[in-house]
Structure 1
Amino acid sequence: MSLPTIRTHEWTRDGFYISTDPTLLSPQAINTAFASDALPWAKELTPEELTVMINHSVCFGLYSATAEVADTHTSPSTSSHPAHSEHAEDPKPAQIGLARLTTDCTTMAYLTDVYVLPEWGGRGLGSWLVGCVREWWDEMPSGRRLLLIASEGRGEEYYKGALGAGRLEDESAKGGERYRVFTARGRGVRV
């Protein structure tokens, strides 16, 4: 049995765009970000590990039409919207962010490796990126849970606003039982 083909989604806004097209991803840019102090949860991967990770995920690459960081931070003039067609611009734009889903493309997804490079911060790009993930998730008619790990406080509030996510402990199962999520750390955790 083969895996389903995942339709490519694209969104554009103010000279930036987000795409789930894996051919646009820059493994070098992703690994550079993973190795940086800006992503304390990640560490650099081998080329083979990075290829496997990308091939087994739905990756939302965030791109700038130019590699140069603008001096001014502007408010978005248009809202995000899917553009489900071939992207007509430069096929290898500057990758400045990522959000990655591991998913069965039917019932569940785990959101991880969400980042916008620090020099591109303050433009609302992270919220837009996570909003695009939410749009993608909302297209899954049998979706049960989209899971993520976030820090308490600021991270928690961010994902509550940008994704509509809440603590699982705030939900009860039928019969009043509380849900619990368990995790086991692996060697790939830097913190």
Structure 2
Amino acid sequence: MISSREDGYTLSTDPARVDLDLVHHWLSTDAFWALGRSREKVETAARNSLNLTVHDAAGAQVAYARVVTDHATFAWLCDVYVSPAHRGVGLGTWLAQAVRAHLEPCGLTRVLLSTRDAHAVYARAGFVPYPDPDGLMVLTP
């Protein structure tokens, strides 16, 4: 899937367009949920996921999102990151909308994400608060 906006940004699911060194830098140094994540972990996660990238008009990668899914019942949208210089122009919402559109033909019954500070971004793409958070559990090492 490749789509573009009038302002020159393009969105792609082509794994060859993912700059893993850049994604590793973003996540391991600036994303509160992934601080210190190793390059090896970033690469393994990307290899086993659906990856979406956004590139500016010059072709530089400026945003990233990753989806873990079985393509049948469930997906987890994660590692959404927009370069600080490109924030505020709707790229996060565009990524979330693209994920939704890409997964729609799969007929998934649940697509989840977790956010500490970007609720409005995801709400614009149709995400709502989880109806019964008391039912969620987590296994931590």
Q: Tell me the TM-score range normalised by the shorter chain.
A: 0.7 to 0.9
Is residue 2:138 matched to residue 1:183?
yes
Secondary structure of the structure 2 residue equivalent to 1:150? coil
Please tell me the residue identity of whatever aligns with 1:166: V
Other-structure match for 1:189:
none
Structure with greater Cα Rg: 1
Could you tell me how far 1:184 is from its partner in structure 2? 3.3
Task: Specify every segment of 5 or more residues in structure 1 that has no aligned partner in the other structure, as ranges.
Answer: 1-8, 67-92, 171-177, 187-191
RMSD of the alignment, in Å? Answer: 1.9
Identity %: 30
TM-score by length of 2: 0.87
Please tell me the residue identity of whatever aligns with 2:17: L
CA change 1:157–1:104 in 2 (3 A) is same
Deviations 1:97-142 (A, max 9, x none): 111100001111001011111111121111111111111121213x
Other-structure match for 1:135:
101
Deviations 1:36-85 (A, max 9, x none): 33x1111243333222111100011111132xxxxxxxxxxxxxxxxxxx
Question: Are 1:31 and 1:44, in contact at CA under 8 Å, matched by a contact in 2?
Answer: no
Other-structure match for 1:156:
119
Task: Specify every segment of 5 or more residues in structure 2 that has no aligned partner in the other structure, as ranges.
Answer: none
Question: Are 2:92 and 2:121, in contact at CA under 8 Å, matched by a contact in 1?
Answer: no
Question: Are 1:169 and 1:180, in contact at CA under 8 Å, matched by a contact in 2?
Answer: no
Please tell me the residue identity of whatever aligns with 1:64: D
CA change 1:36–1:46 in 2 (3 A) is closer
Question: How many pairs were matched up?
Answer: 140
TM-score by length of 1: 0.66
Secondary structure of the structure 1 residue equivalent to 2:72? coil
Other-structure match for 2:109:
144
Please tell me the residue identity of whatever aligns with 1:19: S
Alignment map for 1:94-173 (pairs within 5 Å) = 94-141=60-107, 143-151=108-116, 155-162=118-125, 164-169=126-131
Which structure dedicates a bigger proportion of its chain to helix?
Answer: 2
